[in-house]
Each structure stands twice: as structure tokens, then as C-alpha cells.
Amino acid sequence: MEDEEYIDNIDDFFDQFPDNFSVLEEEVDVNLQLEYFELSRKLRDEEQIRDLDELSKILTNEEIEFSELKEVLAEIAAIDSVEAYRFLESFVKESEGDIRQWALMAYQESKVLMQSSLLDENQFFISTGLGGKGKCLRYFAVVIAKEGFELGELQQKVTKNEFDFVFNENDCKIESLDFHSRYAAILALMPLKAPIKEIFSKAIDECNTYGEFLEEKFLITNVMKLSPDQVEAFLNAENKQEFIDKLNA
């Protein structure tokens, strides 16, 4: 049920990743991220970067169009200065609603640009739909009860204890563990180079020493948290691989 090729690709990619990186910590919609990077690249290619004073004055116009607001923030992110970085830092703290996620992207890009300049070394920016913390990425996973089993009080206790133990052993942190009759939904922070598949498989194996109640395969993604309705749709889907492909697209 888990997309093994998807997990293997994640593990292979991050195994080769350098240590000079920063992680977008908050959750930001993946489609918005793609839109941001496309505009940022376009502005840089066309060298349409105005100075900070001009751009900050434009932002004071209360009638500014939303599309122009996004462009201005992307331009500020391309200015290699501490002043631009601090400006975006303040803007994020004060922003809310639809523009907040866009401002977060601009702030993160500015941070990486400033670090690269100060350290005289290229820094890398990792962003996923679920974000992360420090050197860890956030994942949403679903572990599933075998046919004929439900996750009752005993199974829940075993699952919590064994997953806590295995995850702690691998410097991973479970942020939430929500139980339903047919599955458990896990939100966890995992180090960038953690062997994801091995960690989950070991935790499931440990649980199954107490009654063989969990499926060996599981669903995992760093794109988004699934709602209970979406998880039920996955469990009931005739073609689970097609469901996973659409999720990770």
C-alpha cells in the first residue's frame, strides 16, 4: 500500500543531500510553492528586481492588487541584504490570511540568500507540503489494522509504546498519534537522512509480536495531512496505488 518507489526515491535523494540546508518549517500548500518558485525564477531571469525602498513604499498602498503584492514580496526576497531579510521577517509576523503562506516562502528564500552570502557558500532550501523543524521533515502516515482486527485499547497501547520506542531510537519525534477502529494516523518529524521505510517497518514488526494485528504495508506522505474521510477513501479504494499516485503527484 505504501508507494515503495516513492519512499526509496526520498531516501536516495536525501542520502546524497549536503548538510548546508534549511527547512521550511510551516505547512505551505505545494501548489502555492510551485507558483512562488515559478514567479521568483521569472523575476530573476528578467532582472526585474527593484530596490527595497521602492518596493516597501508600494506595499503601503492599501489598494494594491493581490497579484502585485505577491510579486513585490518575491522581488524583496531576491535582494541580497539583511534589511530585506528583516523586512520580510516583520511582514510574516504581521501577515494573516491568504498572503501569509506566500510571505513565508519569500522569507525563507531571503534567509537562504542571506546565509549563502554571509557564509560564502551555497545554502539549500528544502520545502515540502508538511514542512519540518530544524534538520527534520514532517511526515503523515497511516498504519492499518489487518482484516478481522480493530485497534482496541490493547492494540492502541502496544502501537503507541512500540512506535514511541522505535522512533526515539532513531531520533524521530511523533507529534500526534490518532487512533481509529481500522487505522492509526501518525504525524512525525524525521531526520532528513532517516531510513523511513526501515523505521516504520521495524515499529510495525514490534507491534505484531503482540498479536499480528497490523498490515506490513503503510501509507506515508510529506505532501499533506489526510482527513479521516480521505483515509477512509484510501482504505476502500479498489486501486490503492492509483490513490497514492494522485496524492504524491
Mention every residue, 6+ apart, whose C-beta is less than 8 A from residue 33: 105, 127, 129
Over residues 67-95, the mean pLDDT reads 93
pLDDT 10s digits, 206-220: 999 999 999 998 999
Model confidence band, residue 7 (pLDDT cutoffs 50, 70, 90): low
Tell me the pLDDT of the chain averaged across its residues. 87
Model confidence band, residue 1 (pLDDT cutoffs 50, 70, 90): very low
Distance (Å, whole) CA 139 – CA 223 = 8
Distance (Å, whole) CA 233 – CA 98 = 29
Q: What topology is assigned to 132-248 in CATH?
A: Alpha-Beta Plaits (3.30.70)
Q: What pTM value is reported for the model? A: 0.78
Over residues 153-171, the mean pLDDT reads 97
> Quick one: pLDDT at residue 10?
55
Distance (Å, whole) CA 64 – CA 67 = 8
- CATH 3.30.70.1290 placement within the chain: 132-248
**pLDDT cut 90: percent of the chain above it:** 61
- Residue 141, SS3 per DSSP: strand
Report the DSSP pairing between strands 136-145 and 132-133: antiparallel
Over residues 135-162, the mean pLDDT reads 95
214 φ, ψ (degrees, to nearest 5): -115, 140
